[in-house]
Structure 1
Amino acid sequence: MNHNRMETALVVDDHPLFCDALALTLRSVAGISEIRKAATLAEALEALQRDGAPDIVVLDLNLPDVTGLDGLIRLRNAAGVPVVVVSSMSEERLISSAMRAGAAGYVPKHSEREVFRTAFDRLRRGESFVPDEFLDSASGDDDGSVKRDEVLIRMATLTHQQARILDLIKAGMLNKQIAYELSIAETTVKAHVTAIMRKLGVQSRTQAALLASETSFSHVLQREA
């Protein structure tokens, strides 16, 4: 059995024309026969619950309901399969952070078809892919970038439910409100919050929310030259 077969893909992108073009590219250069589509993170998560996981997820980072790399982390944890980012944002700092957040590969949207072919050949072999011109700008970079990478690594350890709860904490919700929103017991929320704080290495909900904000695009790119 080919462990790294790629016959089905979930494309998460809110631009219908690009979605259609990408679907054609994936069929022709990657041999993917079944393409599912979602326009938002919420739609993608619903599709995973409804239809099960595809062989690979193709994700545009810039979605209507996503402001940072937490969307990538949540989707990767929920899918349990490789997630390759295909984005119009191609800053080295963002590519570096996305790879640390668990992306299997990163392909700029403007790439030629051969780049997509190479990327999916590598992904099928279980390897990662970044553009040839990419230089890991985080290595030897300022302390802020190092700290942000540490945060991403910690965030990547959160379960899907923990990531949802952290998102609601960032929105200012109390445990009782989170329990109502997710239809779970308040004691369950408390247990999750404790686990979240332990994984993130913080002492309070406020610190957890502040730390999570480090994964936003604006924070990741704020020192981009």
Structure 2
Amino acid sequence: MDHNRMETALVVDDHPLFCEALALTLRSVAGISDIRKAATLQEALEQLQAHGVPNVIILDLNLPDVTGLDGLVRLRNAAGVPVVVVSSMSEDRLIASAIRAGASGYIPKHSDREVFRTAFDHLRRGDTFVPEGYLSSSDSPDDSSAMDRDEALARMATLTNQQARILDLIKAGKLNKQIAFELSIAETTVKAHVTAIMRKLGVQSRTQAALLASEASFRNVLLGEG
């Protein structure tokens, strides 16, 4: 990808007012003229299929249909373009995990326009942007729990969109019959997906699959649990 050419962006955030403010900022400091918006991960993935891939994706980690870093991995894999996290959470541990999960930058939501300008200057050079004051030593790649999260994210990234939705429902404690009803598919289809999910994640049970999915969530990252 030509990092110098950033004309289109997809903003994935479920707060309309913030989306409008961010669109103004992107036009002003980054010269991005075509800005699309999506309120959920599902909507973002559908937009990629329907309208093609933008030059950059701006992602909030707190979305209604996904909790955090697994959403980042799925968007990064689906689009293959820089994904910049813009989040109200700015803990060093979370920033470190987001960058390792493939984010090209991390901007706290309260940042002023100059921070966004600097971030996009970094992106155009092909560099990764992290906020001022960020301390990477707080979550070293040598940390075993961090490595466990990386492995969990890598496995989660192999799931299809439908499998990821089913895994979210398994995490919520739903039975196959309930999942089938919620997604309007046959229970036998759910069973086939669950089998495929367990194979891809390298686990033997639904409970282990749910635990692995939790490993990839940003709440787990913030708690610092392995």
TM-score by length of 2: 0.82
- CA deviations 1:157-207 (Å, max 9, x no partner) are 434343233223323445566566556677765565444334423222221
Distance in 2 between the 1:122 and 1:103 partners? 13
Q: How far off is 1:212 after superposition?
A: 0.3
Q: How far off is 1:209 after superposition?
A: 1.1
The size of the alignment, in residue pairs, is: 224
Instruction: Among all aligned residue pairs of Structure 1 and Structure 2, give the percentage whose two residues are the same amino acid.
Output: 81
Distance in 2 between the 1:75 and 1:20 partners? 21
Q: Does the 8 Å CA contact 2:3/2:123 hold for their aligned counterparts?
A: no
Amino acid corresponding to residue 152 of structure 2 in structure 1: V
Give 3-state SS (helix, strand or coil) of 1:102's partner: coil
**Range that drifts further, 212-221 or 64-73:** 64-73
Cα 1:165–1:93 change in 2 (3 A) is same
- Asked if 1:98 corresponds to 2:98, the answer is yes
2:155 is matched with 154
Q: What is the correspondence of 1:23-102 to structure 2 with a 5 Å cutoff?
A: 23-102=23-102
Give 3-state SS (helix, strand or coil) of 1:35's partner: strand
Cα 1:177–1:51 change in 2 (3 A) is farther
Distance in 1 between the 2:183 and 2:5 partners? 35
- CA deviations 1:26-54 (Å, max 9, x no partner) are 11211111111122323323333332222
**Range that drifts further, 29-38 or 201-210:** 201-210
1:128 is matched with 128
Distance in 2 between the 1:50 and 1:171 partners? 30
Distance in 1 between the 2:223 and 2:23 partners? 33
Q: How far off is 1:86 after superposition?
A: 0.6
Q: Does the 8 Å CA contact 2:61/2:87 hold for their aligned counterparts?
A: yes
2:214 is matched with 213
**Range that drifts further, 120-129 or 4-13:** 120-129
Q: How far off is 1:5 after superposition?
A: 2.3
Q: Does the 8 Å CA contact 1:9/1:55 hold for their aligned counterparts?
A: yes
Cα 1:2–1:222 change in 2 (3 A) is closer
Q: Does the 8 Å CA contact 1:74/1:163 hold for their aligned counterparts?
A: no
Distance in 1 between the 2:142 and 2:221 partners? 13
Distance in 2 between the 1:22 and 1:112 partners? 11
Q: Does the 8 Å CA contact 2:3/2:126 hold for their aligned counterparts?
A: no
Q: How far off is 1:143 after superposition?
A: 3.7
**Range that drifts further, 102-111 or 135-144:** 135-144
Q: Does the 8 Å CA contact 2:84/2:104 hold for their aligned counterparts?
A: yes
Q: Does the 8 Å CA contact 1:61/1:85 hold for their aligned counterparts?
A: yes
1:113 is matched with 113
Q: Which runs of 5+ in 1 are unaligned?
A: none
1:144 is matched with 145
Distance in 1 between the 2:156 and 2:51 partners? 26
Distance in 1 between the 2:92 and 2:2 partners? 33
